[in-house]
Amino acid sequence: IHFYSPYPVMERGHILPYRKDCTSKFFLHLKNKTISVVAPAGKVNPALLNTAVNIWQSWGTKIKIMPHVTGFEEDFFSAPAELRAEDFNTAVNDDETDFIICARGGYGCAMLTELIDWEMLAEKNKAVIGYSDITALHQMMLCHNAGIPISGAMFLKAPELFNNPLNADSFVNALSNNAQILKTDSKIPFHGKCIVANLAVLSSLCGTDLLCDFKGKCLILEDLNEPPYKLHRMLNQLAQSGIFDQLSALACGEFLDCGEVYETEKIFRFFAAKYNLPLYLNLPIGHGDKIFAINMRNDISIIKDNSI
């Protein structure tokens, strides 16, 4: 059964101006791809969905909007948990779908753990793209060794974010299994797997069986609208849960509207020093206008940016 978007296609350039010098690789990769859109967490604004569908279709993609993405009057969620999981399983089982992208975050992914067909996702091995509350879904995927968790721009916001070549190019590289390099001002290099997570969501999973194996990995954290003392409390929860004992490195993405930048960096420096971890600051990952997509199945290189 195919759940194609009912929205009309609009010609490229009529909706969103796009940098001419970074379209080739991006559009070549997306052209004729079939993308299934799911909403495993928060409510989706139909008008924003309409706009996003038009833009993605103008790029030559085929869009399948799962049937329960909109239309329900739930308090916090796009639909009841059973229907959100049904949409996700349908997208996974659809042989035409090249990858799955979440419409938005919000709250609700952790409710789906017993409703998703993990064996089917492991067999189909499809990429699932998102961030924020999608952290919970990505953690479950890593726990079950099912699918390819990619932290990256979500469906509604991607058209805006893809005007930045950093976002667009990393999105393609994450999907294509190309080498990925993050540049920072740190002299200490890292090469290995990175786990990208929203701090509030990750800390909410402590004490459950939904956390993945962090051994030898670099943990990249980001968040939104949390005061500094809450950031410290949540990091302390991760520490007391034994996560920092497993890590090889710690990284601070964007913490938008979380107090002053120096306050966030001071907190991260405290935990990095306490657990003797290399620390990478100001990575372009978070809720702002920069979101470097990361494929959590592949090794990532973090190196010094010689231009800094």
Asked whether residue 305 carries a pLDDT value surpassing 80, the answer given is yes
Q: Which two tokens stand for residue 88?
A: 């996700």
Strands of the sheet with 294-295, listed across from one edge: 62-65, 34-38, 99-102, 127-130, 148-151, 294-295
pLDDT tens figures, 19-64: 444 456 787 889 999 999 999 999 999 999 999 999 999 999 999 9
Query: 110 near 210, Cβ under 8 Å?
Result: yes
Amino acid at position 236, single letter: N
What does pTM read for this prediction? Answer: 0.92
pLDDT tens figures, 205-218: 999 999 999 999 99
Q: How far apart are CA 266 and CA 160, in angstroms?
A: 31
